[in-house]
Amino acid sequence: MADIIKLLPDHVANQIAAGEVVQRPASVVKELLENAIDANASLIKLIIKDGGKALIQVVDNGKGMSETDARLSFERHATSKISDAKDLFNLKTKGFRGEALASIAAIAHVDMQTKTEDSDVGTYLKIEGSQVVAQEPIATPTGTSIAVKNLFFNIPARRNFLKSNQVELRHITDEFHRVALVHPSIEFHFYNNGSEVFNLPQVNHRQRINHVFGSKMENRLVPVNEETEVVKISGFICKPEFAKKSRGEQFFFANNRFIKSPYLHHSVIAAFEGLIKSDVYPGYFLYLDVDPSCIDINIHPTKTEVKFDDENTMYAILRSTIKHSLGQFNIAPVLDFEHDPNLDTPYAYKGRGVVLPKVTVDAAFNPFAKTGEQSVKSHTYQKVSAKGWENLYKDLDTGASTDNFSSVEIESDVLLQGTFYSEEDVEEHTSTTFQLRRKYIVSTIKSGMLVINQNRAHERILFEKFLTEITVKEGISQQLLFPLELSFSKQELVTLNELKDSLGNIGFAFENLEQETVKVTGVPLILSESRIGTVLDRLIADYREGYSESTISQAEVLARALSKNLAVKTGELLNQESQLALVNDLFGCKEPSLSPFQKMTYTIISERDIEKKLS
């Protein structure tokens, strides 16, 4: 039998390795930025075009490479970081395996210019698909410039799996944040399609966070600092009231390397127990300094997953440290001995909704109208017969009065309504529909009983409404008498500018969208002024999360995010008119049975099903 096992060519092996190291343009950005940091650069520039598909360029002022080192850097497993297997457990650099540049060069066009400080001229290297096309001396400043063009040019199947330019840019920005936040002593510049996105000077950690996420972070941060024999913890956590429903501003860094650790994330959540709701997540920027021999960072190709020797101890220390910071800076709740319990709602009325008294007024009533031309009509008035009134005046001279009293209406006693109602009270006073557990709207139909989930139904109604307004551009805007000023980070401003036209179609109006402080001058009619800031923050987060891995249109993703944030929530009490309007609007939709998130909005319990239950 002939031998069938053979060695793969280097260019094929490099392409296979590239599949592990380079998943998308953001992976290239991460590797190149880390190489620049390892080169002791104090200034790094990142240049992106078309979401990284056309160009990814990193320019640094580091120590550069010689002609020989420049050529060897693109060979597999060629590295200056380690020389022995023992060095894997004493790593103080970002890269160490020597696979990044070789993998990148295998699936892209790479141009590199590099020069050391003691050299008169630098080296220019041009590589296409692992093949060196040109190598020659060049005049260039000290440092290294690597330009990666036409990513996945020789693997069209991988290129087809890339998302839109906006989505890929978000992933690149996330990687940029992870590197910039842990190295505040390095000056960073980020350019996208010729425009500057970030200009980060050399500062401390707190200022770097403010520069990246906006000045609004200044009043949200609580410092964390603890030093033990196992780990040194520093950084910041966000105050509980600024916890968000999306996992955005959550960063762990171990030995100046961004890591993902669900176990340590759980310890942070445990420290916030009792201070935040179960469906929101606190923000944190935590830097862990541990002995390199106690951490293994070589368990995943992207080096974001690590393994600690004693995770249980790390969990306990981190949880206690955060709890201490929350208490030290008066973030945790305290007992209030000056509270007056007499101002609390009586116990018997707790949990009951507040119902506004209904007053019906006849707008057409005119007290100066001629007698008999109109009568007072109101639900609080009752007609009383005036028959036999003449008997009251049998012995009196009434004169020749010809007034007609047949239309006189006598005001009856008004039924006073209570302020507090329980759920049973609401069900008792409604007829065609009633609300069950402040979650379902129940109504009767010919075939039985209709049960509607109020939150999902309202999401469907708003989704189709917003989708139509975005497409047809007929949304009505409510102009604010006093414009509201809101602060956004640069990344959030990019998303707002991306959604500017669509948001304008449904009623939003903005000014100064290029600046950190944005003026909101108009909002949709359905949105109250007090909720503008909260809704926009959640809208941006939900849009980024929903659009990042989605193939549906921007209009649909935006309509989903808006309907999710503006819909009636479970637990809200609806009056009779609102219940009827919800039912009617739902069955006026094109797809009433499903919410925008593909969940059932209602179910029908037939009369036969009820009879079976009672048989």
Q: Is the pLDDT of residue 191 over 60?
A: yes
Q: Is the pTM of this model over 0.75?
A: no
Give me the residues paired with residue 49 across strands. 55
Reduce the DSSP state of residue 199 to 3 states and report it.
Answer: strand
Q: In the prediction, which pLDDT does 547 show?
A: 58
What CATH number should be reported for the domain whose range is 10-202? 3.30.565.10
Q: In the prediction, which pLDDT does 354 show?
A: 65
Query: Quick one: average pLDDT of 125-149?
Result: 93
Rounded to the nearest integer, the mean pLDDT of the chain is 81
Classify domain 440-603 at the CATH topology level: Ribosomal Protein S8; Chain: A, domain 1 (3.30.1370)
Give me the residues paired with residue 319 across strands. none
Q: In the prediction, which pLDDT does 429 show?
A: 41
Reduce the DSSP state of residue 532 to 3 states and report it.
Answer: helix
- Between 303 and 112, the higher pLDDT residue: 112
Write the CA distances from 477 to 167, 458, 525, 598, integer angstroms. Answer: 29, 20, 6, 29
Q: What does the pLDDT look like over 36-45, one tens digit per residue?
A: 998 999 999 9
| pLDDT level of residue 385 (50, 70, 90 thresholds) | low
Reduce the DSSP state of residue 364 to 3 states and report it.
Answer: coil
Rounded to the nearest 5 degrees, what angle is found at the Cα of 536, between the Cα atoms of 535 and 538?
65
Query: Quick one: average pLDDT of 538-560?
Result: 74
Query: Quick one: average pLDDT of 78-106?
Result: 69
Q: Is the pLDDT of residue 412 over 70?
A: no
| pLDDT level of residue 424 (50, 70, 90 thresholds) | very low
Query: Quick one: average pLDDT of 122-150?
Result: 93
Residue ranges with strand state E in 373-525? 381-383, 409-411, 420-421, 433-436, 440-445, 448-453, 477-487, 509-511, 517-524
Q: Identify the DSSP state of 88.
A: G
Q: By mean pLDDT, which of 33-37, 149-153, 343-347 is the weakest?
A: 343-347
Q: In the prediction, which pLDDT does 218 show?
A: 86
**Maximum Cα interatomic distance, the chain, rounded to a whole number of Å:** 137
Q: Identify the DSSP state of 594.
A: B
Per-range mean pLDDT, top range of 2-16, 177-191, 245-259: 177-191
Q: In the prediction, which pLDDT does 475 show?
A: 74
**Taking a C-beta distance cutoff of 8 angstroms, is the pair 40, 63 a contact?**
yes
- Between 232 and 22, the higher pLDDT residue: 232
The rounded distance, in Å, linking the Cα atoms of 610 and 436 is 18
Q: Is the pLDDT of residue 468 over 70?
A: yes
Q: Is the pLDDT of residue 302 over 80?
A: no
Q: In the prediction, which pLDDT does 430 show?
A: 41
- Between 313 and 167, the higher pLDDT residue: 313
The rounded distance, in Å, linking the Cα atoms of 197 and 181 is 15
| DSSP per residue, 300-355 | STTS---EES-HHHHHHHHHHHHHHHHHHTT-S----TT--GGGSPPGGGTTPEE-
Write the CA distances from 89 to 92, 290, 307, 448, integer angstroms. Answer: 9, 12, 12, 70
User: Phi/psi of residue 112, each to 5°?
Assistant: -130, 135
Q: Which residue ranges make up each domain of the chain? A: 10-202, 207-328, 359-389+404-416, 440-603
Q: Is the pLDDT of residue 68 over 60?
A: yes
Write the CA distances from 439 to 211, 267, 353, 433, 602, integer angstroms. Answer: 43, 33, 14, 13, 12
The rounded distance, in Å, linking the Cα atoms of 473 and 235 is 46
CB proximity list for 217: less than 8 A, separation 6 or greater: 209, 210, 238, 489
Q: In the prediction, which pLDDT does 63 show?
A: 92
| pLDDT level of residue 202 (50, 70, 90 thresholds) | very high
Sign of CA dihedral 195, 201, 205, 210: negative
- Between 536 and 402, the higher pLDDT residue: 536
Write the CA distances from 584 to 90, 185, 434, 465, integer angstroms. Answer: 68, 60, 14, 14
Report the number of secondary-structure helices (H) and strands (E) in the chain: 16, 26
Q: In the prediction, which pLDDT does 515 show?
A: 77
Query: Quick one: average pLDDT of 222-233?
Result: 93
Q: In the prediction, which pLDDT does 422 show?
A: 45
| Percent of the chain scoring above 70 in pLDDT | 77
The rounded distance, in Å, linking the Cα atoms of 612 and 615 is 5
Q: Is the pLDDT of residue 1 over 60?
A: no
Classify domain 207-328 at the CATH topology level: Ribosomal Protein S5; domain 2 (3.30.230)
Per-range mean pLDDT, top range of 107-121, 243-257, 425-439: 107-121
Tell me, what amino acid is at 449?
M
Write the CA distances from 566 to 501, 532, 615, integer angstroms. Answer: 20, 11, 43
**Taking a C-beta distance cutoff of 8 angstroms, is the pair 200, 180 a contact?**
yes
The rounded distance, in Å, linking the Cα atoms of 154 and 147 is 17
Q: In the prediction, which pLDDT does 415 show?
A: 41
Query: Quick one: average pLDDT of 94-113?
Result: 83
The rounded distance, in Å, linking the Cα atoms of 593 and 578 is 19
Q: In the prediction, which pLDDT does 537 show?
A: 84
**Taking a C-beta distance cutoff of 8 angstroms, is the pair 270, 282 a contact?**
no
- Between 430 and 97, the higher pLDDT residue: 97
The rounded distance, in Å, linking the Cα atoms of 354 and 360 is 19
Q: Is the pLDDT of residue 105 over 80?
A: yes
Q: Identify the DSSP state of 365.
A: -
- Between 404 and 236, the higher pLDDT residue: 236
Q: What does the pLDDT look like over 330-379, one tens digit per residue?
A: 666 555 566 666 666 665 566 666 666 666 677 677 777 765 554 444 44
| pLDDT level of residue 427 (50, 70, 90 thresholds) | very low
Q: Is the pLDDT of residue 594 over 70?
A: yes
Q: By mean pLDDT, which of 78-92, 325-339, 365-379, 592-606 is the weakest?
A: 365-379
Query: Quick one: average pLDDT of 278-306?
Result: 82
Q: In the prediction, which pLDDT does 536 show?
A: 87
Query: Quick one: average pLDDT of 411-433?
Result: 46
The rounded distance, in Å, linking the Cα atoms of 141 and 139 is 7
Sign of CA dihedral 168, 169, 170, 175: positive
Helical (H) or strand (E) element with 461? helix 454-472
- Between 289 and 75, the higher pLDDT residue: 289
| pLDDT level of residue 235 (50, 70, 90 thresholds) | very high
Q: What does the pLDDT look like over 203-219, one tens digit per residue?
A: 999 999 999 988 888 88
Query: Quick one: average pLDDT of 252-268?
Result: 91
Sign of CA dihedral 431, 436, 441, 444: negative
The rounded distance, in Å, linking the Cα atoms of 105 and 601 is 52
Q: In the prediction, which pLDDT does 280 show?
A: 86
Q: Identify the DSSP state of 244.
A: B
